[in-house]
A and B are shown apart, each in its own frame.
Chain A
Amino acid sequence: MNKKILSNIFLSTLYLSSFTFGGGYVIVTLLKKKFVDELHWIDQQEMLDLVAIAQSSPGAIAVNGAIVVGYKLARLPGVICAVLGAVIPPFVILTVISFFYTAFKENFIIQAMLNGMTAGVGAVILSVVYDMGGDVVKGKDPLLIILMAASFIAAYFYHVNVIFIILAAALTGIGKTIIRKLRNEA
């Protein structure tokens, strides 16, 4: 039985990681479909909490999602199977691409293709920023909006190390929690 669970975890994450375009959130949704809706191995409410853990942790959400499901179903062996399944496909694909990239970088057509796509990538990224930034502004929390502006100024104009910005933002969050706790107790 245990072996069946492990192979199921491995094959599911391997399959999803090979064929899912569109980032970690899509993979997490598909994991839910598989393990909650189809197999009924995890219940709906618990899956929501697991997804929250995957999203709040550092690292790729697809990998984190695989880990929470792997841990829930089979503890450490489950985590190992889930991570291997999630990582093997991009590892193989990018190794092959890396090999061809060195060989074909000077090719005229490929060069032109990649150059043209750069403008498209810029548009895709800034479009995502517009949506995410819009959500922050719509939340109407002045602290978070100031944090967003300050982070931009620090990163763009002062080239502050990204890690320091992340730590400062995390400390702000911890500070907020503490202040709220103190207020609730007072």
Chain B
Amino acid sequence: MIYLKLFWAFFQIGAFSFGGGYAAMPLIKQQIITTYHWLTINDFTDLITISQMTPGPIAINSATFVGNQIAGLPGAFFATLGCVLPSCLFVTFLSWAYNRYKNLSILQDILESLRPAVVSMIAVAGIDILFPAVFPSGSLSFLPGQVKLRPVLYFAAALFLLRKKKKDPILVMVLCGVAEVTAQLLMPGI
């Protein structure tokens, strides 16, 4: 039952992604690539790219996108529902508890310990997106022929614009895309 699978896969993503934003990315990757093989790593990378360029949380975007790709509109509905339901239950419960007890200290301790783990997992997901783009073999290697020059240049330029010039991430990504389109049009086959 594909709808149930979609619902359950994204329910777990919704239930275990603490910290917002990129924190859901490692879980999404685990569920839709490792566990269910719903997307290739290329499609997943495109999905993250698209998510960056549209409003809306990565988890919801992924649920709707994967659901649509796998089982059409009903698939998108069940995946998205699964993704949001844990939030609805958990946050509503906490809001209720807060209204009664007005105390959040345990919650904040847990969150504090989750943050370092989440940072590391986002780093791993980022590496898994970056390495296949830069190294044809998919793993770290600086031998001649084992590094793709243009993506390395884009990566370095993007880091410079983000860190030193404080440019908007969406603008930086679009510039990388435009640079690659221009390069392929001007120098086909290289």
Interface string of B44-78 (1 = CB under 8 A from A): 01101110101111111100110011000100100
If A23-B20, A57-B91, A93-B56 touch, whether A120 touches B175 (CB-CB below 8 Å) is: yes
Taking CB atoms, residues of chain A closer than 8 Å to B123 are 126, 129, 133, 152, 156
**Chain A contact residues: helix, strand, loop or mixed:** helix
Within 8 A of A (CB), among B156-190: 158-159, 162-163, 169-170, 172-181, 183-184
18 example contacts (A-B, Cβ-Cβ < 8 A) are as follows: A19-B55, A21-B170, A24-B20, A53-B94, A58-B17, A67-B87, A67-B95, A90-B57, A95-B64, A95-B76, A101-B46, A119-B134, A125-B122, A125-B129, A132-B115, A143-B113, A151-B121, A152-B120
A11 at the interface (CB under 8 A from B): no
Q: Is the CB of B121 within 8 A of A63?
A: no
Interface of B is mostly: helix
CB under 8 Å from chain A, chain B span 1-40? 12, 14-22, 24-27, 30
Interface size for B (C-beta < 8 A) is 100
Instruction: Select the residue from B95, B155, B177 with max chain A CB neighbours within 10 A.
Output: B95
- Least Cβ–Cβ distance between A35 and chain B, in angstroms: 14
Contact present for A58 and B122 (CB under 8 Å): no
Chain B residues whose C-beta falls within 8 Å of the C-beta of A1 in the assembled complex: none
- Chain B residues lying within 8 Å of A108, measured Cβ to Cβ, are 184
Q: Which residues of the other chain, B, contact A54 by a CB distance below 8 angstroms? A: 91
In the complex, which residues of chain A have a beta carbon less than 8 angstroms from the beta carbon of B54? 90, 93-94, 97
**Are A177 and B130 neighbours in the complex by a CB distance under 8 Å?**
no
Contact A173 B57 (CB under 8 A): no
Given A63-B87, A97-B54, A115-B180, does the pair A52, B104 have CB atoms closer than 8 Å? Answer: yes
CA gap between A105 and B57 in the complex, in Å: 23
